[in-house]
Each structure stands twice: as structure tokens, then as C-alpha cells.
Amino acid sequence: MNYLLTLAYDGTNYCGFQVQPNGRSVAAAFQDALEAVLGCRPDIKGCSRTDAGVHALGFMLNFHADTRIPAAKLPLALNRHLPPDIRALEARVVPDDFHARYAAHTKTYLYRIHNSPIDSPFAARYYTKVPGRLDADRMQQAAQYFVGKHDFLALCASGSSAAAHGDTVRTITACDVQRRGDDIDITVTADGYLYNMVRILAGTLCEAGAGRLAPEAVPGILASRDRKNAGPTLAAKGLFLKSVDYDTPIE
């Protein structure tokens, strides 16, 4: 059977989702749990790679396995063997040819900013602190200029394989900024992302919120296709993969 599983994880102690030779990955920890439960180590297909330190609220992955454990009980069995900073939330059976990455229609990321000079003693590992007051309305105005089909090379860090192949056009369908007291949430939904794209986008919105960048300057930044014209790359710890949407409903 082909199982689609939803994961949530704190990425602080991991080098990202994808297995890498230079550190502990979320994928390796998950496969360890699979091996403990199933007695084998199936190949897993993740919906995204996620960089070191990035978190997930609704990461999707699939794998093929033979087991008598009902899909509804599989998360409970896996959680007994997963570290406490990774949790399986839900599992279901999907068609054999379903692939968590290639079937994805859009992915939504959340970037969290604590807009205060004082850190929270409870949540400092899950946001980026910006001490100077940000104008969330200006950030929202700037955010709307990112919506649509654009060449996002200006929001791409060096070292991107997509950029090397000239594949830098993506479509953002929603980009919103919301203030909640001292916290600012930036949510972005797109059909795909470039390397560090959301973190650079969030940094650019902060420049607008701080008054150093006019919201209407965003189209010119995108048209320039030049990374140095966009804002800074904000820290990985404020970024969460929030959800993944698929073209067809999953039973």
C-alpha cells in the first residue's frame, strides 16, 4: 500500500528534511521509526526538502509498505519511536502512483516575526526578532506586489540549482501579513519556491515595514532579477511549512 503521512516537526536540531551526510535529518529519524515499526526501511518521498532549522506544521510524505497496522493507527505506532520534536499526525492510503512532491498543487509557508526588543522566554526558537516597530499595513501593501506569476530570481540565494538552469518563474497565489500584538505572521502560498525565497521575501517585507523600502518598489526589484536589490535573508528558525494542497481531494 502507498501511505500518505502528515508530519509536524521542530527543525531546530536537524539539517533539514532531506538525508544529508553532514548532519541528522528529519527523514533519517522518520525512517528509523518506520524500521522499528515495520521491520523494513522503505524509501520515502517528501513534499519538500526544507532547509536546516526550518520547522513544519503539515509536512507531507509518502511511502510504500506492507503492514497489518490500520492507517489510522500508524501515527500512534510511529510516535512511540520518533524523537519528541517529530510527530506523525495522520496517515491514509493513497493510489500507488501518488507522489507527495509531484502531486502537490501549492504549498503554504508561514514566517513568524516577533516585533519587540524583548524575546519571549517560551518561543524564541520559533520566530525572528525585529526590535524596531514595523508597519504591518505597509508590509501588506508590499506583499500584494509579489502575488502573480513572476521571475523570482531576485529572491533566490546563490547556489540554487533552479537558478542555474534558468528555472526561476513561480506563481504566488496569496501573500498576506497579519499583526497579532507584538507578533507578525507572513503567509505565502505558491506553486513552487526557489532557494531561500520565502526568507528573502520576508526580509524584503520587513524593509518596507521599517520604512526603508516603498511598497511600490517591489515590481522593480523583481524585474531587476538581482538578489542585491531585495531585502536580507531572515533566519531559518522563523519559517514553517504550514500546509500542502493537492490538485485532487485525497480520500
Alpha carbon 151 to chain centroid, angstroms: 20
51 is catalytic: yes
111 annotated as belonging to a binding site for a ligand:
no
Axis crossing angle, helix 136-144 with helix 197-209, rounded to the nearest 10? 130
Query: CB-side exposure of 62: number of CA atoms within 13 Å?
Result: 21
Whether the CA torsion 141, 146, 149, 151 is positive or negative: it is positive
- Identify the active-site residue in 51, 85, 245, 247: 51
The total of other beta-carbon atoms located within 10 Å of residue 194's CB is: 24
Query: Are the C-beta atoms of residues 187 and 240 closer than 8 Å to each other?
Result: no
CA angle 205, 206, 211 (to 5 degrees): 100
Q: Which residues are annotated as a binding site for substrate?
A: 109
Residues placed in the known binding site: 109
Question: What are the catalytic residues?
Answer: 51
